[in-house]
Amino acid sequence: MKTIIIYGLKRSGNHFLISSILQQFSNYVHLNDINLSFNDYLKYINIEKNKERIDCKWTGFKDVECVLMSLENKTIDNTELDHFRKIDDCYFLILLRCPYSHFSSVWEIYKKNESRLLRIVKLWKIYAEHFINNSDCGFIKVLYDEFTVNEKYRTNVIKKLGIDNINIDVNKYIQCQKSSFNKRRSKIQYKKQVYRTLENCVFKDDEQFVKLVNDKEINNLWDLLKKSDILSVSIC
């Protein structure tokens, strides 16, 4: 059985990445937005599957091809991950999105909620540090913006999971996978938000938004990340 653990912030493209991975399996369980626990893993690996997907709690995944655990807005707990590092065929991914397209999505979907945006901003910095820090051994680092537009990059990410014969349908949607900027939520038809700068993102003229995200540390981290080897799908 393949065990996959994905760390990703809300509105950073988690479910597109998850959909692309799960399309490679016919028998899987997706534990969505859970708290990571090796003790729970050991418990539920011996319980028969009765759900293919479950939100915010655990369910059985005995004898499946793949169990995928997605963790949203969670800090990375290396103490807990050390237990998973001891099992076979286990993979860790960390997902990041360009800050300005990411923060725009958060601002839109949560109706300009300042506290929710600031939480994402704080966590984005932590995740960016993990991307840049080469001592983060064992993590496959995925940049959503590249993953969504570059077929070769998508394929290379999936290969890092020890998967061959890869076939990804980018038009196949799973639960919770949707754009923040669709016609139901906005009167304006926005283009796909990838690789945006603060100067050309959707909310560049929103003074409150700009004040919250115009952060020198974010700019520096994003510049460093773009100069790193992340576009080659790095794993240390």
Which residue range forms the structural domain that includes residue 182?
Answer: 2-232
Q: Are 137 and 233 in contact (CB under 8 A)?
A: no
> Which residue type does 82 have?
D
Q: Is 45 exposed, middle or buried (CB count within 10 Å of its CB: 0-12, 13-18, 19+)?
A: middle
Q: How far apart are CA 154 and CA 158, in angstroms?
A: 6
The two three-digit tokens of residue 209, written as one number: 């938004």
Q: How far apart are CA 230 and CA 130, in angstroms?
A: 11
pLDDT tens-place values along the chain, 236 residues long: 999 999 999 999 999 999 999 999 999 999 999 999 999 999 999 999 999 999 999 999 999 999 999 999 999 999 999 999 999 999 999 999 999 999 999 999 999 999 999 999 999 999 999 888 866 668 999 999 999 889 999 999 999 999 998 999 988 765 554 554 454 344 444 445 567 789 988 899 999 999 999 999 999 999 988 877 666 555 44
Q: Are 34 and 71 in contact (CB under 8 A)?
A: yes
Please give the tally of structural domains in the chain.
1
89: region left, alpha or beta (phi > 0 left; psi from -120 to 50 alpha) = left
Q: What is the DSSP letter of 23?
A: T
What's the confidence (pLDDT) of residue 50? 96
What's the confidence (pLDDT) of residue 56? 97
What's the confidence (pLDDT) of residue 231? 61
Q: Are 155 and 166 in contact (CB under 8 A)?
A: yes
What's the confidence (pLDDT) of residue 173? 63
The DSSP annotation for 144-213 comes to HHHHHH-HHHHHHHHHTTT--S----TT---TT---SSSTTT-SS-PPP--S--TTTSTTTT-HHHHHHH
What's the confidence (pLDDT) of residue 189? 40
What's the confidence (pLDDT) of residue 191? 47
Whose tokens are 């460093």? That residue is 224
CATH number at residue 88: 3.40.50
What's the confidence (pLDDT) of residue 137? 67
The DSSP annotation for 166-185 comes to ----TT---TT---SSSTTT
